Amino acid sequence: MKIILIGYMGSGKTVVGKGLSKELDLPFYDLDQEIVRRQGLDIPSIFKEKGEIGFRKIELQVLGELLQSEESYVLSLGGGTPCYGNSMEMIKQTKDAHTIYLKASLETLLGRLWGEREFRPLIAHLDSQELLEDFLRKHLFERQFYYNQSDLVVEVNEKNVEGVVAQAKNLLNEHRAITRF
């Protein structure tokens, strides 16, 4: 069984993924961390050296390798992963892969991302809250098309990590009863 967490930057994919992997007793992978490990460079350096297109190619390749493995795991994607190339199709065609969209509102994301933007190459240049808000609104709108193709959705806004993990686990159990995975 492969559980794949999808959502915008700042939606909590990594921390929720770690919590869910403990609850389900499955190994945890974070796609960004796998990319960093294999490239020996952090994400901002990969963007700087290879550009966003270079990063997307590496991202797709590492995702493909993880999907091909026979292993069961919880995997947190990067915010853009399902929106480029044929990633979402690859995920949907993977046997026993189940996607969860961690859905955060614009307000939640703004609050979380403003102070962290220097580590995030796509938003590092946005130097006022208004510019960040305009960017996020447009970007979320474009990406929702892909995020909404997930099997399950958990709203994260008012919840702490434990609450999100608990709801994700409950939804997975219900989904399991229906799909018998």
Which residue ranges make up the site for ligand S3P (CB under 6 A)? 9, 13, 32, 43, 78-80, 120-122
Q: Write down the least CB distance from residue 43 to ligand S3P, Å.
A: 5
Our CB check for ligand S3P shows the closer of 49 and 174 to be 49
- Give the number of other Cβ atoms within 10 Å of residue 93's Cβ: 10
Q: Write down the least CB distance from residue 130 to ligand S3P, Å.
A: 20
| DSSP line for 103-171 | E--HHHHHHHHGGGGGG-TTTTT--SHHHHHHHHHHHHHHHHHHHTTSSEEEE-TT--HHHHHHHHHHH
Our CB check for ligand S3P shows the closer of 79 and 167 to be 79
Are 66 and 34 in contact, with CB atoms under 8 Å apart?
Answer: yes
Q: Write down the least CB distance from residue 136 to ligand S3P, Å.
A: 11
Nearest to 156 by CA among 112, 91, 92: 112
Our CB check for ligand S3P shows the closer of 19 and 78 to be 78
Q: Write down the least CB distance from residue 177 to ligand S3P, Å.
A: 30
Our CB check for ligand S3P shows the closer of 47 and 181 to be 47
Are 74 and 28 in contact, with CB atoms under 8 Å apart?
Answer: yes
